[in-house]
Amino acid sequence: MLDFFTIFSKGGIVLWCFQGAGVTESFTGPVNALIRSVILQERSGNNSFNHEALSLKYKLDNEFELIFVVGFQKILTLTYVDKFIDDVQLHFRDRYKNELEQKGALKLLNNSFEFQDDFMMLLREAEESSKARSPAHMRSFKESEKSQKTVKSMIETKGGDKGKEQGGKKNKNTKKEGECSSVDASTFSKMFWRKCVQLCLFLSSKKGGAFGGMFGMLKGLVGSKSLSQDDMEPVLEKMRDHLIAKNVAADIASQLCDSVAKKLEGKVMGTFTTVASTVKQALQDSLVQILQPKRRVDILRDVMEAQSQRRPFVITFCGVNGVGKSTNLAKISYWLIENGFTVLIAACDTFRAGAVEQLRTHQRRLNSLHPPEQHGGRPVVQLYEKGYGKDAAGIAMEAIAYARNQAFDVVLVDTAGRMQDNAPLMTALAKLIAVNMPDLVLFVGEALVGNEAVDQLVKFNQALADHSMSDKPRLIDGIVLTKFDTIDDKVGAAISMTYITGQPIVFVGTGQTYNDLRSLNARAVVSALMKA
């Protein structure tokens, strides 16, 4: 039933693995995909992950820095997997701790870890318990309580009590004489120790204010236990509200806090650290990790690589209406010209009145800043346009062909602004990208948006996937965040957009001039985000 089960450290060392009978394919691909897409991207709030035909479940052991991963076919419904992975974790960590204490880390890694027998025993128990669970028998109407009710039993008396209970049912809460209440030993133990702590605190406060204050201060500082969900919940609730106030989408704020809780649960706090500081530091590290995603976009390097292949590097800009696509396209043109490249702008916004004229104005201004006389008599930026009402995909194709013939280094394709719910325009955008296959698809979004950022990016990506002609559709490759100078410290849109796409923020627009284009400083953004 299971395809594989593997246990490895957060440092990447595989401690033990199991592969199901008849399974020939290696499980390194799915596990590496899990690490890249979930664990490294701080998306561990949910403990499941799908990769092609496989469904993966995983569990983090933060005390010993271990990761447990089980994989099985997606079409199977294995109800025992969650309990099984918990049981394996408990058994393995006990063995691991003992071996670590007896042999030391180096000898433990050099020798093979014997866990096969224990694993097979747990697997058999889990499968047998799953088979033993028969489906609940559906009662007939005659067997149900409703059939036993009579009119008399439903008539209320003057005092407000119903008539005598049918069948002489006993109250669940009544106890026989001498019978104990149903409080188990562990609950009683917790209650007992809680009372003891309360008593100690009371006595210490009575003995003297100085001693009581010192005791309280040390109690708040010294970390002596592993973190639990209950410990972190009040802090995480405040962090969640803080992120939402800083413009992070509500769903993403919740997912981030859940991921941090999973990351810290069971971890032993350091000495002289509080729960709040530990959670805040973990959240800060997660946010920095999110803003430095797995794929780094280096446009200058990619343009030079395209030059070596004697073809233009093509960038397509897309986004909703009024976010500043054309303005930021002009800023990127200026940045490319400053780095010694020639640019062809393709005017593929054939809907908005004045779109072509706006690009023509930018072209004139850019050429005045970099006169053709300084570049061998050739303009460094040109505009390719066919007017209004034409097919945008066709214009882009012609512009790319023209750039190849005229030896332009970069083609920047300007597209019409469109709302994510406008199906015809989204289809046209998907067609433009599918037909021309640009090297880079940049989504231009405002730094002012909150929850709307999630909806925009999800639907843009979905439209590109739905209308693609390939098995591996081209989606958004990077983000340009505009109007970043207008938001003060409410920088949450950067987190929302990066978290949704898993793609980097390539540029941020910080003003109205051509120079106002910056790379994103992840630590500065997180610092502003965490500022009270």
332-361 pLDDT, tens digit each: 999 999 999 999 999 999 888 899 999 999
Q: What is the C-alpha separation between 127 and 476, in angstroms, rounded?
A: 43
d(CA 310, CA 286): 41
Residue 372's SS3 state is: helix
Q: What is the pLDDT of residue 170?
A: 46
* pLDDT surpassing 90 at residue 331: yes
Rounded CA Rg of the chain: 31
Q: Which helix (H) or strand (E) holds 77?
A: none
Residue 223: CB atoms within 10 A of its CB come to 17
Helices and strands (H, E) in the chain, number of each type: 18, 13
Cα dihedral 170, 176, 181, 185, rounded to 10, equals: -120
Question: What is the band of 447 on the pLDDT scale with cuts at 50, 70, 90?
Answer: confident
- Indicate the domain borders of the chain: 4-129, 226-291, 299-522
Local confidence band at 367 (pLDDT 50, 70, 90 cut-offs):
very high
SS3 3: strand
Mean pLDDT of 312-325: 92
Paired strand residues for 411: 314, 344
pLDDT above 50 (res 173): no
pLDDT in the model for residue 135: 57
CA 169 to each of CA 141, 145, 172, 176, 177: distance values in angstroms, whole numbers, following the listed order: 19, 12, 9, 15, 18
Residues 6+ apart with CB under 8 A from 498: 290, 291, 293, 479, 504, 505
CATH 1.20.1250.20 applies to domain 299-522: no
CA distance 116 to 15: 12
Q: Considering the domain 4-129 in this protein, what is its CATH number? A: 3.30.450.60
* pLDDT surpassing 80 at residue 46: no
pLDDT of 178 reads: 40
Is pLDDT at 369 greater than 90 in this prediction? yes
Q: Among 515, 520, 386, which residue's Cα sits nearest to residue 447?
A: 520
- Which class for 456: exposed (0-12), middle (13-18), buried (19 or more C-beta within 10 A)? buried
